[in-house]
A = this chain, B = another copy of it.
Amino acid sequence: MDFELSPELVQLRDRVAAFIRDEVIPAENGAGDIQVLRDKARQAGIYGPQLPAEYGGLGLGTVAMCVLFEQAGRSLLGPLALHCAAPDEGNMHLLSLYATPEQRERYLRPLVEGKIRSCFAMTEPPPGAGSDPTMLLTRATRVDGGWEINGRKWFATGAEGSAFAIAMVISDPSVPAHKGVSMFLVPTDAPGFRLIRSVPTMGGHGGPGGHGEIDFDHLRVPDSAILGKLGDGFKMAQVRLTPARLTHCMRWMGVAQRSLDIAMAYAREREAFGKKLAQHQSIQWMIADSEIELHASRLMVMQAAWKHERGDDIRHESSICKVFVAEAVNRIIDRAVQICGALGVSTDTPLEHFYREARAFRIYDGPSEVHRMVIARNVLRSKG
């Protein structure tokens, strides 16, 4: 066993941390231009930690990615600046694994280069597929020269202004969902692609492009729009989502760690009842519990990342990380708000934004309830 990060990774991590501190956080409240930040990130040699080297990225493995993502996550702008934000990050990962050479040129290259944005259209409004992906209603029917897609999606993050969507669609209703669903690459300017709205949420947006509600209305695509193999949609979704849970966790832990840091800085200065807040046990308890949970979160995600990098199946570990980290991050931010009191609910610190934005993390990529069900079934099947 060895819990040590390589010296190169430590150095890289510290470089990302410095970049976030010196370049990104100061740009938070202004009209932060992402392109400017990306140029600076390129100059700093930290652009695209997860991107293939051939596309100008750092080509890092899962472990190093996760370490850097936490640092990038200290600002909600950080992952955008390093071009490792959802959903583009996961979509690029998917395309790099499954896209044909043509699909690469058309979609992956400009996406990697930051010239276009993308979205992932899986979730459907009721009565379609929410936490239960087998309830998918959107359907592609064979037509002359390709497929016709009909259905409704929502919470397609980044949809507004994106160049294309990766859409999860039933291509064969006669077989179970895990064999009859496929992924299609759908240009957003195709006739029949209609962005109904960006669904307003408690978090604001959390990135460019909002959370789109999309109508596929007799939308036609050729066979070449299929990503990967016909019928492999569920399998590929797992390939996309399993590591994506880890990178989500690490980005959010950056937010949580920063929240704790903000609260501690306040607690060291602010007085009440005759001493600094930091000297009150009720405040100390919140700080200690947040530290404990950050420590546990970090170890669990790193272990899963290490296992993923080895090529092992990490669905069980990734479910565990998702439940624990999503709930811990929400508690940690909540405690930071409480420590800061009135200041904490004001926009004078980023805590209130973090609080609103993080709430959805307990829901997307599988709500806690679904992962607990999965974890229990795994354990009941295999242990004891």
Q: Residues of A with Cβ closer than 8 Å to B?
A: 1-5, 63, 123, 125-127, 130-132, 135, 154-155, 199-203, 211, 260-262, 264-265, 267-273, 278, 280-285, 287-289, 291-292, 295-296, 299-300, 302-303, 306-307, 317, 320, 323-324, 337-338, 341-348, 352-353, 355-356, 359-360, 362-364, 367-369, 371-373, 375-377, 379-380, 383-384
Is the CB–CB distance between A363 and B341 below 8 Å?
yes
Is the CB–CB distance between B292 and A323 below 8 Å?
yes
State the Cβ distance, A368 to closest chain B Cβ, in Å. Answer: 8
Taking the full assembly, how many copies of this chain does it contain?
Answer: 4
Chain B residue contacts of A338, Cβ below 8 A: 362-363, 367-369
Is the CB–CB distance between B202 and A303 below 8 Å?
no
Is the CB–CB distance between B373 and A272 below 8 Å?
no
A-B interface, 5 closest residue pairs, ranked by CB to CB distance from nearest: A261-B384, A284-B376, A202-B352, A281-B281, A288-B372
**CB-nearest residue of chain B to A295:** B320
Chain B residue contacts of A375, Cβ below 8 A: 287-288, 291-292
* A285-B372, A323-B288 known; A364 vs B352 contact (CB < 8 Å): no
**CB-nearest residue of chain B to A200:** B347
Report Cα–Cα, A348/B201, bound state, in Å: 9
Chain B residue contacts of A380, Cβ below 8 A: 264, 267-268, 278, 284, 287
Is the CB–CB distance between A292 and B320 below 8 Å?
yes
Report Cα–Cα, A320/B291, bound state, in Å: 8
Interface of chain A: mostly helix, strand, loop or mixed? helix
A342 in complex: contacting residue of B123, B306, B324, CB < 8 Å: B123
| 22 pairs from A and B in contact (CB 8 Å cutoff) | A1-B4, A2-B2, A2-B306, A123-B342, A131-B272, A199-B346, A202-B347, A211-B346, A260-B379, A262-B384, A264-B380, A280-B369, A281-B285, A284-B372, A284-B377, A284-B380, A287-B380, A291-B375, A292-B320, A296-B299, A342-B363, A355-B359
Report Cα–Cα, A338/B361, bound state, in Å: 11
**CB-nearest residue of chain B to A309:** B1
Report Cα–Cα, A352/B368, bound state, in Å: 18
Is the CB–CB distance between B271 and A306 below 8 Å?
no
Chain B residue contacts of A373, Cβ below 8 A: 281-282, 284, 288
